[in-house]
A = this chain, B = another copy of it.
Amino acid sequence: MFLKFYPMTLTAKIVKASIFCLVWAVAPLIARVSAPASIEKWGTYEIELTGPSDGNPFADVTLSAEFTDGTRTINVPGFYDGDGVYRIRFMPEETGNWSYFTHSNRWPLTERRGTFTVTAPTTKGNHGPVRVANTYHFAYADGTPFRQIGTTCYTWTHRPDAVEEQTLKTLAASPFNKIRMCVFPQTHGIKTMPPPRFPFAGEPTKPDYTRFNPDFFQHLEKRIGQLRELGIESDLILFHPYDDDHIWGLDNMPAAVEDFYVRYLVARLAAYRNIWWSMANEYDYVRTKTEADWDRNFQVVQASDPFNHLRSIHNGKMIYDHNKPWVTHVSMQNGSAVEEVGRALLYRDVYRKPIVYDEVVYEGNHRLRWAQIDGHEMVHRFWVGTVAGTYVGHGEYLIDTNDPARAAEYGAKDPKGNNAFVWVGQGGALKGESPARLAFLRKILEDSPVTGIDPIDKWWTVGMGGKPGEYYLVYFGHEKPTSWTFELYRDGIADGNQFKIEVIDTWDMTITPLDGVFAAKKKDGYTFIEENGRAVALPGKPGIALRIRRVAGVVGEISDKPPGN
C-alpha cells in the first residue's frame, strides 16, 4: 500500500470533517513553516515545512497546497525531502497577491496558510517557461520566441563535481539553449566513473522502491537550477534503456513504482521554469515496457504538473504516436530526415506540432556510424532542419585520442580532442567544429520573423523557409551553385515589392549583402522573378544560404488554394 496517494480534495475533506476543531489545540504538533514574502513571476516559490520523519514519509504522507490570487486556484503537490523536511514548490504565472493553504493527512502539515507577492520578473533572462507557439514553433511565456538550438549530455549530472562544473562553464559559452539529460545514470563507463548517487534508498543494485534518496534529487535540482541561470532549458529524460540487465532496477520498475517516481520527480521540479519532460530516450529499447506504459507515464506527468511543461518522448527505431493529445511536440531521433529538406518537413504535417530532431547522429570519431559525422555535416543538418521549419539537436562523440588505449577501445579513427570525456555522455568540454557555426545560426534565427520559419511552398519548392512576402532563407546544402536566379513562390508577394539579399556562408560564418534591391515581377501563376531577371552570383561551394528580406512594398495575397493551383 505504500504507493497509495489520496487525492488532495478527499484528504482535505476527511481532515476537515473529522478533526478540524482539534488542529489549533495541538500546537506542539504544528510544523515550522518557512516561505518568502515575495517572488518574481516564473520564479520558484518554496514553502518549507517540518513534519513527521517516522514511518515512511515518502509514501505515507500526502501533502499539497492550494495557491490562489483570488481569480485562479492551482493545486500543487508537495514532497518529502528527508530529515523531517517537506517542501511545496510553486511557479507563479501571474503577478499580484497570492495566498496558499496546505492539505495533508498529517496534522503538522495541514491547513498552513500564508500570503506572498508575485512581482514582475527581474532576473535577466526570465521569460517564463517555453510553450508551443504558432503550431510548429516555441516561445517563452512572455512571447519571446524560443529558437531551439539543443545539445545532449545524457548523464552529465552523475559525474565528479569538477567535471560537472566544467560542463556548466562549457554550456555558458556555447550556443545551446536546451540540453537533453537523463535523471538516471547509465551503466556505460561506470567502471571508470561510478555514479555517486542513486534515486532510491537501498543499495544501487538493490533499490528500495518505497523510499527516495533526497540527496540524489537535491543534486539534480541544483544542476537544473544552474542551467536556469544560464538560460538553458532542461529537457529531462525520465526513463532510458541504458541499465544493462536491469542492474540498478531503473528500467524495469513495476508500474506503481513508476507512478510513484514520476509524481515525486514532478513535485520536485515542475516549479523550475526551464523544465521540459521527456518520457524516455529511445523508448522502444526499454524492452520491459509497452506503449501503454508510456501512455500512462505521459498522463501521470500531465496530471501531476500544475504548470503544464512541454512533454515529449524520444525514439529508437519505432516512432511513438505523437498525435496523442498529451504530446506537446515531437522529439525525433532520425538523422536521415535532416540530411535533406524535403524529408525534414514531412513530419510537420503529420503531427501539426513542433518537430525537434533530437539526435541526428553525433559529430564524432567513433567506429559506429551513429557517432561519426563531421562538423560540416552537423551544421548542414541544422540548416536543413531550419529551412524545413523544424528544430535540431546537437550531439558530440569525440573520443580523446591522446589516450591511445581509450581510442583503441572505441576504435576512434580521427585523432581529435584534448580531454578524456565524451560530451554526449559525460559533458566536460566541447571539442567539435560545429558549435561555433551553431552560434552563428542562432544569431541568424534571433533576427528572423517572430512567428518562426516555415516552408514557403511545402512539397514543391524544397530548401526555402521563412515568412511569405517578408523573409526567406534559401539553403543549397551540399550543392555548389555558382548562381541563383531570383524566383520566389507567389504567396505574400506583389509586383514591385523590393527585397535585399545577403549571401550566407554557413561554415565560414560570413554574411555578404548584395548590391541594390531586387524588385519582384510576376512570372506566372506560381512565382515572381526579379523585374530584369537578375541572377545572384554564388561562391560555388557547399553550405551556402541566402537571406532575402522585403525592404519596400506591402505584403501580397496569401492564397488558400489547393497546393498545386
Contact = CB atoms under 8 A, between A and B. Distances in A.
Given A317-B563, A336-B462, A368-B564, 14 more contacts: A285-B562, A316-B562, A317-B562, A321-B323, A335-B459, A336-B342, A336-B459, A343-B343, A346-B346, A346-B347, A347-B350, A367-B525, A368-B565, A369-B526
Interface in A341-396: 342-343, 346-347, 349-350, 361, 367-371
Contact of A342 (B317, B340, B368): B340
Contact of A350 (B285, B317, B319, B564): B319
A337 interface: yes
A334 interface: yes
Contacts of A459: 334-337
The 3 A-B residue pairs whose C-beta atoms are closest, nearest first, are A370-B564, A336-B459, A319-B349
Nearest to A287: B560
A282 interface: yes
A318 interface: yes
Q: How many copies of this protein are present in the complex?
A: 2
B342 A563 contact: no
Interface of A: 282, 285, 316-319, 321, 323, 334-337, 339-340, 342-343, 346-347, 349-350, 361, 367-371, 458-460, 462, 525-526, 562-565
Contacts of A563: 316-317, 370
Contacts of A349: 317-319
7 contacts: A316-B562, A317-B458, A334-B346, A334-B459, A336-B342, A340-B340, A370-B565
A261 to B, nearest CB: 25
A274 B285 CA distance: 40
Nearest to A462: B336
A317 B559 CA distance: 12
Contact of A343 (B342, B371, B564): B342
Contacts of A525: 367-368
A388 to B, nearest CB: 11
Contacts of A458: 317
A96 B340 CA distance: 56
A152 to B, nearest CB: 14
Contacts of A347: 346, 350
A562 B368 CA distance: 11
Contacts of A318: 349
Contacts of A565: 368, 370
Contacts of A367: 525
A562 to B, nearest CB: 5
Which of A285, A334, A462, A563 has the largest count of B CB atoms less than 10 A from its CB? A563
A319 B323 CA distance: 12
Nearest to A560: B317
A319 B369 CA distance: 33
Contacts of A371: 564
Contacts of A368: 525, 564-565
A44 B375 CA distance: 64
